[in-house]
Every structure is written in C-alpha cells, then in structure tokens.
Amino acid sequence: MARHPRALPLLIAATALGVSVASAWAQQASPRGAPGVSQPVPPVAGGVNWQTLNGEQKNALRPLAALWPTLTGDQQRKWVALTRNYGRLSAGEQATLQSRMTEWATLTPAQRTQARLNFGEARRLPVDERKARWEEYQSLTPEERQRLAADHAKPPPGTAPALRPTPQDKLLRPRQGEDRKLPIYDNTLLPR
C-alpha cells in the first residue's frame, strides 16, 4: 500500500460502489407477492393485525383499511368493538357508519384531535342544549359557519391539547406588577 498512495481511496470508492449495487440488487430480488395482493403488515404492539379480522369485520372497517397500520392498539380495538353490532344495523345505518369512517380516515391527525376535543366538549352539555346548538348551527349559511370556525380560539402552537381542560377558576395567575427576580449568579445563571 505504501507504494501506491492513490490505491486506498480508489479501493474505498470501488467497495462503496459494490455495496450500493449489491444492496439495490437485493432489494429488487426480494420476494414480493403477486400484484394486487397485500403483504402482511406487522401489527402495532398490542394491536389487532388486519389479517386476523374476519370477513364481516373487514367489510365493516373497509374505509379504515389503508389507515389501519397507523392506528394505535387501543384505537384498533375500539374500531373492532364497533363492528360487533354492524350486522344488526339496517343498510342505511351501515352506509352512514361507513361514510363517517371514510370522513374520519380523510382527516389529518390534527383535525382528528380537534374532533375528539369537540366531541368531549359537546358531551358535557345537557342533551336539550346540545340539540338546540346543533339545530342553530345547521341553520347557519356556509359563510357564517366559516366565520364561526375562524373566530374559534386557536390553541397556542406547540401545546398539547387537553381532553379535560382545567377550568379558568382553578388556574392560578401571578399578580400583576409582582417582580419575582431570584438572586442568580451572572456567569452560571444558577440560584445563589
């Protein structure tokens, strides 16, 4: 090697090229199923693998098939529990359920979180008030609905939404004008 100082970089480059070609070939040569046949997806830890569902469950959960591997185990079990009564529903009720599942599957994760929060908030209202508010909302024009959505207070970015927000009367706020400077060392910013 001492006689050929340029041979080492050339050898490293050739080895790297060989490894990359071999790995690309191995990926192409890996066994794949027939076209149109889905490959088994490893289940989420504690979750339900799509392949273990029976035909009726798969039919009921069809709108969630593409989304299924991304759901947590708890979410998967809740959706599977929903299928227990699916066979007893009328055709119209089944169609409604599946259309709502389709809508849910098209939401972004942030929109799903907001929907969960809205649902939790709505559950706290008495049934009569909930119905009245829903009818009032249904009577709004699309422009009024958009204005209402825009006026809704947005949470500060980067904060995790709370399913049960702390009531305002339970929050403690620092008194105005109260200066709470702690004696600190200027070099380390640690308390003295």
Distance from chain centroid for Cα 61? 17
Where do the domains of the chain lie?
A: 44-106, 108-150
Please give the model's pTM, rounded to 2 decimal places: 0.49
Asked if the model's pLDDT at residue 43 lies above 70, the reply is no
Bigger pLDDT: 39 vs 118 = 118
Asked if the model's pLDDT at residue 45 lies above 80, the reply is no
pLDDT confidence of residue 158 = 67
Instruction: Tell me the DSSP string of 35-75.
Output: TTPPPPPPPPTT---GGGS-HHHHHHTGGGTTTGGGS-HHH
Q: How confident is the model at residue 132 (pLDDT cuts 50, 70, 90)?
A: very high
Bigger pLDDT: 22 vs 161 = 161
pLDDT confidence of residue 41 = 46
Across all residues in the chain, what is the average pLDDT? 74
Q: Residues of the chain with pLDDT > 70: what percent?
A: 65
CA geometry: angle 33, 34, 36, nearest 5 deg: 105
pLDDT confidence of residue 92 = 92
Instruction: Tell me the DSSP string of 163-185.
Output: SSPPPGGG---PPTT---PPPB-
Asked if the model's pLDDT at residue 130 lies above 70, the reply is yes
Phi/psi for 139 (5° steps) reads -80, -10
Q: Residues of the chain with pLDDT > 90: what percent?
A: 10
